[in-house]
Amino acid sequence: ARGRSEAAEAGAGATGGAPTLTPARASALQAEWGARILARVDRSHRYPRGTRASGRALIELVLARDGRLVSARLVQSAGDPRLDEAALAAVRRAGRFPPAPRGLEAARYSFTLPLRFEWQG
């Protein structure tokens, strides 16, 4: 999962006297968080019945720092509208996402998640 913050200094600042994160450390924390988010979506992702297609959808999620889903949208089609809807449904079924790791301080973060669908025919 690729991610980026919507703030100019994604996680670069800290409060309460905590040490400032380097950009590399902030990026690593966001990548770890993105992997946890992708794993949660993967667990809820289902191949739609009656569909005989394969493809990969890319979904962009915007999450608040507390793990609340702000938005989800399809950024690349899997090539079949039923697969695209199944990808978005997986995000909805995933429920609440884990909060940002300590040190990531931007209000919102964006993640692009690939969801692959393989037809076993």
Residue ranges per domain, the chain?
A: 2-117
CB 39 within 8 A of CB 18: no
Closest CA to 5 of 65, 67, 55, 87: 65
Beta bridge partners of 116: 56
Task: Give the right CATH number for 2-117 from 3.40.50.720, 3.30.420.340, 3.90.380.10, 3.30.1150.10.
Answer: 3.30.1150.10
Q: Length of the chain in residues, anyone?
A: 121
Read off the pLDDT band of 20 (50, 70, 90).
confident
Is residue 51 very low, low, confident or very high in pLDDT (cuts 50, 70, 90)? Answer: confident
What is residue 61's three-state secondary structure? strand
Say whether pLDDT at 121 is over 60: yes
- Cβ neighbours of residue 9 closer than 8 Å, sequence gap 6 or more: 106
Cβ atoms of 56 and 78 within 8 Å: the answer is yes
The answer, yes or no, to whether residue 86 has pLDDT greater than 60, is: yes
